[in-house]
Chains A and B, each alone.
Chain A
Amino acid sequence: MNISRSLSRRMPSGRHLVIGVPFVWLFLFFLLPFIIVLKISFAEADVAIPPYTEVYTWAENKLSIVLNLGNYIFLSEDSLYLAAYLGSLKMAFVSTLLCLLIGYPMAYAIARADKDIQTVLLLLIMMPTWTAILIRVYAWMGILSNNGLLNSLLQSIGLIDAPLQILNTNVAVYIGVVYSYLPFMILPLYANLVKHDQSLLEAAADLGSSNFNSFWKITVPLSKNGIIAGCMLVFIPVVGEFVIPELLGGPETLMIGKVLWQEFFNNRDWPVASALAVVMLAILIVPIILFNRNQAKEMEGRA
């Protein structure tokens, strides 16, 4: 810590530039936009370009700000939106849990594998994240459809008589979400598990702990930060997920990302879309802060 402080002090002009450029960029293109979203969520929809009214007007040397809470009242009155938020949260919660249950043993197995095999396995896990989510979800459309591969298979082995309706249901969305987000659960878990000192488990075994007991009492508590990071990396984006419910879900699938998209692109109601985004952000702000603090802790822990 002392070292870095002294390094930084040695570059008075460079220092400002190095901090300034990314700071200004992120402020301009990440933070400022949220403020504008907040502003527009208080506007009214209008048939104009852009399709909303101004929140503040400058007339006769007077600045008047009209905060229109109509959008928020509208959201709270229409049960569709509440259902969409709840649907998103449920979807995110259940699929995070499923990802954890499937991903933890996988990450554990990779962390315990030989070093050479580890890199190969890691690349196998990472490769799908470099492929468009769109394509991976698309692959499931062909498999899950009524006359798709899965139904044909089940029918040919005589398990079912008529095709099961899987595509365009919530089941398909769960499959798609778990499928798409599984790598994001495994990678932070692996990064954490691989750092564990194997001798801790040996010490526990030496002291008479069964494997199962050591796993619950030693491995799981030590991997807490990895679990938090993995769960947040799945939960937060899934709440706002659009592509998966759009392609795999059906009329019963109510998710906020999809609703926001429809409000924006189909209804061209920018203020309501903004209000939806503001509420979504308000719901997610706690998990996001949790994630950021966890990241910061991981970073400082290693420094």
Chain B
Amino acid sequence: MRRFRFSNIMLWVGLLFIYLPMVILVIYSFNESRLVTVWGGWSVKWYVGLLDNTQLMNAVMRSLEIACYTAIAAVALGTMAAFVLTRVTRFKGRTLFGGLVTAPLVMPEVITGLSLLLLFVAMAQLIGWPAERGILTIWIAHTTFCSAYVAVVVSARLRELDLSIEEAAMDLGAKPFKVFFLITIPMIAPSLAAGGMMSFALSLDDLVLASFVSGPGSTTLPMEVFSAVRLGVKPEINAVASLILLAVSFATFLVWFFAHRAEENRKKAIQQAMDESTGAHLQAGPDSRRDPSQVHA
């Protein structure tokens, strides 16, 4: 039992380690004083000031736009990759394919960023496309590495699905494509949503890839924050960071809330079905009337 207690203590210490700095950051974003380390009373002036910072607001809008496109494309691409990995067990180059799908998960971002930029430069030279780097090239970069995350999440779900459900649909006359859209997609919908949210967040957060492949005039939010932060702590940045933290926590809470509610409903329904069927047994089954355990029920 001692080890169990030790691991529990570690858990709470670890969570404190993870969350304390963020809480401190949020508190200090309400600091009146310009000196970020000296407490000068509560204030929301840094938040108000953000609205006037058009450069920052533009970067926010640009980042959100890229994140939206990325989430959509990464879910589509990652789901296809996951489907191939789990359902098509044999084809030439499967090992290479598996490697290509999972490698972006761990590849250092500086390498991916540098190599993608060099690709875009070479392509621009060779075929004249992409003519300039910007939202499009950032989107391609983000989609590439986000689809790896989607593929991992979705393939985990696909693997635990009962294959006979898809076979049943085919048995009842649905062609493979129809099976995929009518049966498979609805069953893996939660993991598609999770993959989409993850891609959105990853795209919104990325600094390194965007720094490499963006062009002039397409600065994203993390790039703005980074260039400000490099020179030290600033109260405006505290406010931006806090807003991002709050948005992410809120989204996390929503995910938990809906998942929790769905699970509760499911449990209730199963309980109800079980109650009914045992009730029906009592009336219908001649055997159960003799069952001694049921006599006092």
B110 touches A277 (CB 8 A): yes
Is A139 an interface residue when CB atoms closer than 8 A count as contact? yes
Is B275 an interface residue when CB atoms closer than 8 A count as contact? no
Q: Name the residue among A106, A136, A148 with the largest chain B CB count within 10 angstroms.
A: A106
A134 touches B91 (CB 8 A): no
Known: A5-B90, A237-B109, A239-B108. A141 touches B232 (CB 8 A): yes
Q: Name the residue among A32, A112, A124 with the largest chain B CB count within 10 angstroms.
A: A124
A29 touches B116 (CB 8 A): yes
Is B167 an interface residue when CB atoms closer than 8 A count as contact? yes
Interface 1/0s, chain B 69-107, versus A by CB < 8 A? 000000001101101111111110101011111111111
A138 touches B25 (CB 8 A): yes
Is A223 an interface residue when CB atoms closer than 8 A count as contact? no
Is B59 an interface residue when CB atoms closer than 8 A count as contact? no
B77 touches A22 (CB 8 A): yes
B106 touches A139 (CB 8 A): no
- What residue in chain A is nearest B2 (Cβ atoms)? A211
Interface 1/0s, chain A 102-129, versus B by CB < 8 A? 1101101110100000011101111110
Complex Cα spacing A261 to B255, Å:
37
Is A73 an interface residue when CB atoms closer than 8 A count as contact? no
B256 touches A142 (CB 8 A): no
B22 touches A138 (CB 8 A): no
Is A226 an interface residue when CB atoms closer than 8 A count as contact? no
Is A58 an interface residue when CB atoms closer than 8 A count as contact? no
Give the A interface residue count (CB, 8 A).
102
B144 touches A236 (CB 8 A): no
Question: Per a CB cutoff under 8 Å, which of B97, B119, B251 touches A32?
Answer: B119
B106 touches A237 (CB 8 A): yes
- What residue in chain A is nearest B125 (Cβ atoms)? A50
Known: A22-B84, A142-B25, A211-B2. A135 touches B256 (CB 8 A): no
Is B68 an interface residue when CB atoms closer than 8 A count as contact? no
Question: Per a CB cutoff under 8 Å, which of B14, B84, B103 touches A102?
Answer: B14
Give the segment of B48-56, B201-209, B282-290 that binds chain A.
Answer: B201-209
Chain B, interface size: which category?
35 or more
Chain A, range 221-274, C-beta contacts under 8 Å to B? 232-233, 236-237, 239-243, 246-247, 257, 260-261, 264-265, 270, 273-274
Is B274 an interface residue when CB atoms closer than 8 A count as contact? no
B103 touches A112 (CB 8 A): no
Complex Cα spacing A138 to B238, Å:
9
B115 touches A36 (CB 8 A): yes
Complex Cα spacing A242 to B226, Å:
12
B87 touches A7 (CB 8 A): yes
B107 touches A119 (CB 8 A): no
| A40-B118, A127-B248 given; 7 more Cβ-contact pairs under 8 Å | A3-B167, A7-B167, A22-B80, A135-B225, A142-B28, A242-B208, A274-B118
Closest 3 CB pairs of A and B: A240-B108, A33-B115, A132-B205
Interface residues of B (CB under 8 A from A): 1-4, 6-8, 10-11, 14-15, 17-19, 21-22, 24-25, 28, 36-37, 77-78, 80-81, 83-91, 93, 95, 97-112, 114-116, 118-119, 121-122, 125, 140-141, 143-144, 147, 151-152, 155, 159-160, 163-164, 166-167, 170, 176-177, 197-198, 201-202, 204-208, 211-212, 222, 225-226, 229-230, 232-233, 237-238, 241, 244-245, 248-249, 251-252, 255-256, 259-260
